Amino acid sequence: MQAAVMLVALALAYVVYVVRAGLGRRIQLDWIRLRGLFGRGPSRLSAVNACLYWIFFINHAGAAGQRWPASISASTPATT
């Protein structure tokens, strides 16, 4: 349970870091960035990087959503 609390705290700290450091535009998926997937050079690399970020975010949100109820039920004592 302590590990789950730490992971949630780190995830929230990362969101605060991205917002305060002004890095939101780096991971923002907009029309121009999606068009960059079919371009060449740095624009394509930037678009792939943003897509990988969002795949990572969605993957971790889904994993947290699936494991959270299991961690709560595992921490409560069973009544017989």
12-51, pLDDT tens digit by residue?
A: 898 899 889 998 888 888 888 888 889 888 889 988 988 9
User: Mean per-residue pLDDT for 49-76?
Assistant: 74
Return the structure tokens found at 7. Answer: 């992971």
Around 34, how many Cα atoms within 13 Å sit in the side-chain half-sphere?
4
Q: Grade residue 71 by pLDDT with cuts at 50, 70 and 90.
A: low
pLDDT, mean over the chain: 80
Do residues 65 and 79 make contact, with C-beta atoms less than 8 angstroms apart? Answer: no
Q: Grade residue 72 by pLDDT with cuts at 50, 70 and 90.
A: low
State the residue for tokens 């699936």.
66
Q: Where are the alpha helices (DSSP H) in 1-80?
A: 2-20, 24-27, 31-36, 42-75
Separation between Cα atoms, residue 37 and residue 45, nearest integer Å: 8
pTM of the model: 0.63
